[in-house]
Amino acid sequence: MKSSGKKRPRRISGLMFLCLGVMLLGFWFCARKVGAQPPPRDKPTGGPVVKVKIDPKSLAKGADAGAAALDAGLGPVDEKKADDKKDDKKGKKDDEPKDIYNEDPVDYAVDNADGGVPTHPDGRFRSPYAHPKYGKAAVVRVGMLLANVREYDIQKGTFEADFFLTLTSDKHLPPVDLIFTNGKIDNKEVMVDKPFFKMYRFIGTLSSPADLHDYPFDTQELTIEIEDDDNGIDQIVLVPDLEHTNLDINFEVPGWETSFTKARVNTHNFPDRFDNDDMYYTRYQFTLGLRRYGTSAIFTVFVPACVIVLISMTGLWITRDELEVRTNSTTPMLAAAVLFHFALMQALPATPYLTRADKLMMSVYLILGLHMVISLMWFFFEEKHTDRIFTIGKYAGVPMTLAMLAAGILL
């Protein structure tokens, strides 16, 4: 026991040194790991070293500088790539010999003596975006083949469209930059890009507000709006091409009947953004009209409402002796009507007006109220009028019910 008691402190101090050693070794590894981490992406441009690395002169000096730049992380390299991309975009124009078809009209707009926005003294428009050198505007026929419409959401008014677009011109076209004013394009494929003919395939998410005045007999218009971002009407005049505006074979939107297609152009200008902002632009609009199936509308809205009314109306034949039964034919129907109306409205966006379904449900509420009032009349008048109230309720209540229901359906 004594000998073991003497040896214990040595063991403890040995273990302590061992632990300390392991800990130090651990810290050293951790420190190395942390030191090897690349700097955060949003910080690299802040350091002086990075600034040196992205200097094109130092990059040009040799491979060492290039390797150093890579070591500095992704930031500077990304920056360079971004610059390259910008150069690419500009470069294509810059590299090509300038002619009237690719010249940026802003470049030859004339600065005024008193400063301000440069203008074009020649031609119809003063706007710097006018291109008087281009001559007569190209008349461009716009063809459209709508291949598919998916995920139509009537609450948001959004839908996904998949379509082909063709531009056929009678004149060499300037560079065209199509934008979609009522949505965004998720996928763009340039299929043909020739001076007189261009063909694209687009898949995009677009939006058109729903018009629900006639719901559930509504027709919705799904619109695709296209505008050339660069060229005004002095260069491009869009014309809808009837012969080449179509829906694909077996085109169908589930739950909807194709009612019509519409293609038109609208020539508009923006409210003045600067002095002499007088350029007009053509906007092409393709509209697909979708009509809700009538049978579906009748069975989902009108039949349930009529059933509610008819069941409540049966109570008018029940005498005062069975007052409980009579009220039970009306009051639960009121709850049913409210729930049914709520379920209908859940599927639609909020509107500042009454839809046809709302008007129908208003008439249903009035009818149910009428039936309750007729039943309550027994409590307002003396008992000797019981039979008369029953008779009046039956012979006046039924025609009034039917008239109000008809009004709710037809108005």
Partner 1 sequence: MSARTLLSRALVVVFAGATLLAVLPGCKGKPKIYDAKVKLNRVAPIRFAVDGKPVDTDVEFDWFQCPGSQVEIIRGDANFAECMKKYKAGDEVAVKVDYHWDKAGHYDWDITEMGGCKRPPDDDDLSSFDTVQECEPIIVNGVNEGFKCNRIPNKDLLKKCPWFGRH
Alpha helices in 158-240 (DSSP H): none
Contact 248, 288 (CB under 8 A): no
Tell me how far the alpha carbon of residue 400 is from its chain's centroid: 46
Shortest CA distance to 228 belongs to which of 146, 169, 162?
169
When the beta carbons of 114 and 243 are compared against partner 1, the nearer one is 243
Q: How many CB atoms lie within 10 A of CB 179?
A: 13
Distance (Å, rounded) from C-alpha 194 to C-alpha 99?
A: 16
- Which part of the chain contacts partner 1 (CB under 8 A), choosing from 16-24, 107-115, 268-276, 320-328? 320-328
Interface with partner 1, residue 386, by CB under 8 A: no
Judged by CB under 8 A, the number of residues near partner 1 is 38
Convert residues 279-308 into a mask of x (bound to partner 1 by CB under 8 A) and - (unbound).
------x---x-x--xx---x---x---x-
Interface residue with partner 1, options 13, 112, 155, 319 (CB under 8 A): 319
Contacts of 267-272 with CB under 8 Å at 24 or more apart are 267/233
Shortest CA distance to 69 belongs to which of 85, 32, 82, 79?
79
Contact 113, 103 (CB under 8 A): no
Site for partner 1 in 97-116 (CB under 8 A): none
Interface with partner 1, residue 226, by CB under 8 A: no
When the beta carbons of 112 and 314 are compared against partner 1, the nearer one is 314
Distance (Å, rounded) from C-alpha 238 to C-alpha 233?
A: 8
Interface with partner 1, residue 398, by CB under 8 A: no
Convert residues 14-53 into a mask of x (bound to partner 1 by CB under 8 A) and - (unbound).
----------------------------------------
Q: What does the DSSP assignment read for 168-188?
A: EESSPPPP--EEETTEEEEEE
When the beta carbons of 58 and 219 are compared against partner 1, the nearer one is 219
Interface with partner 1, residue 268, by CB under 8 A: no
When the beta carbons of 72 and 336 are compared against partner 1, the nearer one is 336
138-153 and 236-247 as β-strands: parallel, antiparallel, unpaired?
parallel
Contact 253, 292 (CB under 8 A): no
- Which part of the chain contacts partner 1 (CB under 8 A), choosing from 78-86, 181-189, 200-208, 245-253? 245-253
Distance (Å, rounded) from C-alpha 262 to C-alpha 245?
A: 9
Supply the minimum distance, in Å, between the C-beta of residue 378 and partner 1: 14
Interface residue with partner 1, options 126, 326, 356, 371 (CB under 8 A): 326
Length of the chain as a residue count: 411
When the beta carbons of 4 and 295 are compared against partner 1, the nearer one is 295
Residue ranges that bind partner 1, judged by CB under 8 A: 240, 242, 245-247, 249-250, 257-266, 285, 289, 291, 294-295, 299, 303, 307, 310-311, 313-315, 317-319, 321-322, 325-326, 329
